[in-house]
C-alpha cells in the first residue's frame, strides 16, 4: 500500500496545488515536497531542497522518509526550453532517469511523471489527435517528453515498475503562475482582464489549443494515480482533454463577465510552437481505461477564474 509520497518540482504551477490535494488524501505527514528552490511555496513541513540532477540526495531522501512513490514534476517547460535547450534536455532527461533509477533500486511502488501535448508535432493529425500516433515534436521540450514516455514504458516492461503519466494540455490556474510554457497566455489573460481590462496576447487570435482548468488537472492526476494498474493498457502518455479554445474564444468568454474587456495580438516565437501542437485531443483511452471525465468547460472555468482573481485583487494581493 502506498503511504508516503515525495514530490519533485513542488513549487511549480501544478506542484503547489497538486501536493495540497495529495495531502488531503494521504495526510500532511505523508507528502514530502521538494524543489530546487531553497524554500517551499506551499508549507514549511516536510519540505526539502532537492535538485533532481542530484541522484544521491534523491536516494537519501527516499530512505530518510521511507518513500513509497514519487510524483516527478520538476522540468523546464516548452518556451523556456526553446531558450535553453541543453538545460532542458539535462533537467528533463537526467532528472527523469534519476527518478526511475531510484524507483528501480529502492523498489518503489509507483512513479507519476507528466507528459504533455508537446509530444506532438506538425506531422501528427492535429484534429482529434489519436492516442497512438506519430510523435515527432519540433521543440526540445517535446523531444524530452517523448523520450520520457518511452523511457518510462521501458522501465515498466523491463523492470516491472509501476510508472504512469498524462499528456497534460495547457493548464489554467489562479494560485501559482505558470513557469514558461506556450499556453501561459491563458492564465495571464485573466489576471490582466481583472487588473487593467485588456490583454496583449503572444499567440494569434485563431490559435486553437487544448486546455484544462487546474481542478480537472488535479482530478485527472489523482484518479490516474489511484487507478488499478492491471487495468491500464497505456502507461506513461495518456491523452487527456477538457476543452479546446482560441485566444478569441477566451476573450469572448471573459466579455460575458467583463463586457469592456479588449484584446490585441502580437505573436512571438511561441506561435510556431503552438502551431505545431494539436487543436483537439482524443482522450478515449483515458475515458475507457480509468474512467476519466472533466468537470469544467471554458465558461465555468472563466467564471471561477475571474471570481478568485477578482477577490485577490480586491484584497490587494495581486
Ligand X SMILES: NC(=O)c1ccc[n+]([C@@H]2O[C@H](COP(=O)([O-])OP(=O)(O)OC[C@H]3O[C@@H](n4cnc5c(N)ncnc54)[C@H](O)[C@@H]3O)[C@@H](O)[C@H]2O)c1
Among 80, 53, 42, which residue's Cα sits nearest to residue 179? 80
**Residues 94-153 within binding reach of ligand X (CB under 6 A):** 95, 114, 116
Residue 23 main-chain phi, psi, to 5 deg = -60, -40
Nearer to ligand X (CB atom), residue 83 or residue 264: 83
DSSP string, 113-153: --EEGGG--TTS--SSB-SS-----SSHHHHHHHHHHHHHH
**At its nearest, how many Å lie between ligand X and the CB of residue 139?**
11
Interface with ligand X, residue 36, by CB under 6 A = yes
Nearer to ligand X (CB atom), residue 108 or residue 210: 210
Report the C-alpha gap between 33 and 121 in whole angstroms.
33
Give the torsion sign (CA, 223, 158, 93, 95): positive
Terminal-residue alpha carbon distance, the chain: 41
Interface with ligand X, residue 188, by CB under 6 A = no
Interface with ligand X, residue 171, by CB under 6 A = yes
Nearer to ligand X (CB atom), residue 19 or residue 302: 19
Interface with ligand X, residue 165, by CB under 6 A = no
Interface with ligand X, residue 51, by CB under 6 A = yes
| Choices 44-52, 238-246, 271-279, 285-293 (CB under 6 A): range interacting with ligand X | 44-52
As annotated, the active-site residues are 141
Interface with ligand X, residue 91, by CB under 6 A = yes
Report the C-alpha gap between 26 and 44 in whole angstroms.
17
Interface with ligand X, residue 278, by CB under 6 A = no
Interface with ligand X, residue 286, by CB under 6 A = no
**At its nearest, how many Å lie between ligand X and the CB of residue 260?**
29
| Choices 23-31, 164-172, 202-210, 241-249 (CB under 6 A): range interacting with ligand X | 164-172
Spatial CB neighbours of 56, under 8 Å, sequence gap ≥ 6: none
Report the C-alpha gap between 85 and 90 in whole angstroms.
9
Instruction: Report strand pairing: 5-8 vs 166-168.
Output: unpaired
Nearer to ligand X (CB atom), residue 161 or residue 211: 211
**At its nearest, how many Å lie between ligand X and the CB of residue 186?**
9
Nearer to ligand X (CB atom), residue 74 or residue 273: 74
Report the C-alpha gap between 279 and 208 in whole angstroms.
5
| Choices 51-59, 130-138, 199-207, 249-257 (CB under 6 A): range interacting with ligand X | 51-59
Report the C-alpha gap between 134 and 156 in whole angstroms.
21
Interface with ligand X, residue 281, by CB under 6 A = no
Nearer to ligand X (CB atom), residue 175 or residue 257: 175
The answer for 291, left when phi > 0, alpha when psi is -120 to 50, beta otherwise, is left
Nearer to ligand X (CB atom), residue 130 or residue 179: 179
Spatial contact of 26 and 32, defined as CB atoms under 8 Å apart? no
**At its nearest, how many Å lie between ligand X and the CB of residue 313?**
22
Say how many residues touch ligand X, by CB under 6 A. 29
* β-strand partners of 6: 32, 70
- The helix/strand/coil state of 213 is strand
Report the chain's C-alpha Rg in angstroms. 19
Q: Which of 5, 6, 7, 15 binds ligand X (CB under 6 A)?
A: 15
Residue 248 main-chain phi, psi, to 5 deg = -65, -40
Interface with ligand X, residue 73, by CB under 6 A = yes
Write out the residues near ligand X by the rule CB under 6 A.
8-9, 11-15, 35-37, 50-53, 73-75, 77, 91, 95, 114, 116, 168, 170-171, 178-179, 181, 183
Amino acid at each position: 500500500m502506498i503511504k508516503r509520497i515525495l514530490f519533485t518540482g513542488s513549487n511549480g504551477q501544478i506542484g503547489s496545488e497538486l501536493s495540497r490535494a495529495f495531502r488531503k488524501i494521504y495526510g500532511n505527514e505523508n507528502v514530502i515536497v521538494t524543489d530546487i528552490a531553497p524554500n517551499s511555496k506551499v508549507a514549511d513541513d516536510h519540505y526539502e531542497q532537492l535538485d533532481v540532477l542530484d541522484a544521491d540526495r534523491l536516494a537519501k531522501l527516499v530512505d530518510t522518509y521511507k518513500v513509497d512513490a514519487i510524483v516527478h514534476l520538476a522540468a523546464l517547460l516548452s518556451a523556456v526550453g526553446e531558450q535553453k535547450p541543453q538545460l532542458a534536455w539535462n533537467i528533463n532527461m537526467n532528472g527523469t532517469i534519476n527518478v526511475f533509477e531510484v524507483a528501480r533500486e529502492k523498489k518503489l511502488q509507483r512513479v507519476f511523471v507528466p507528459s504533455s501535448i508537446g509530444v506532438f508535432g506538425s506531422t501528427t493529425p492535429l484534429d482529434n489527435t489519436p492516442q497512438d500516433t506519430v510523435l515527432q515534436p519540433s521543440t526540445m521540450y517535446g523531444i524530452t517528453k517523448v523520450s520520457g514516455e518511452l523511457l518510462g514504458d521501458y522501465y515498466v516492461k523491463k523492470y516491472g515498475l509501476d510508472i504512469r503519466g498524462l499528456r497534460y494540455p495547457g493548464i489554467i490556474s489562479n494560485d501559482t503562475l505558470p513557469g514558461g510554457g506556450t499556453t501561459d497566455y491563458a492564465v495571464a489573460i485573466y489576471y490582466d482582464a481583472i487588473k487593467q481590462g485588456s490583454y496583449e496576447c503572444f499567440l494569434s487570435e485563431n490559435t486553437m489549443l487544448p486546455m484544462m482548468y487546474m481542478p480537472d488537472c488535479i482530478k485527472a492526476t489523482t484518479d490516474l494515480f489511484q487507478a488499478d494498474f492491471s487495468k491500464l493498457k497505456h502507461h506513461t502518455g495518456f491523452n487527456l482533454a477538457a476543452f479546446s479554445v482560441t485566444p478569441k474564444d477566451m476573450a469572448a468568454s471573459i466579455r460575458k463577465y467583463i463586457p469592456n474587456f479588449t484584446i490585441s495580438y502580437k505573436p512571438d516565437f511561441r506561435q510556431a510552437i503552438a502551431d505545431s501542437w494539436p487543436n483537439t485531443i482524443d482522450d478515449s483511452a483515458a475515458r475507457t481505461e480509468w474512467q476519466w471525465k472533466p468537470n469544467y468547460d471554458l465558461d465555468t472555468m472563466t467564471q471561477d477564474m475571474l471570481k478568485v482573481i477578482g477577490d485577490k485583487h480586491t484584497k490587494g494581493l495581486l
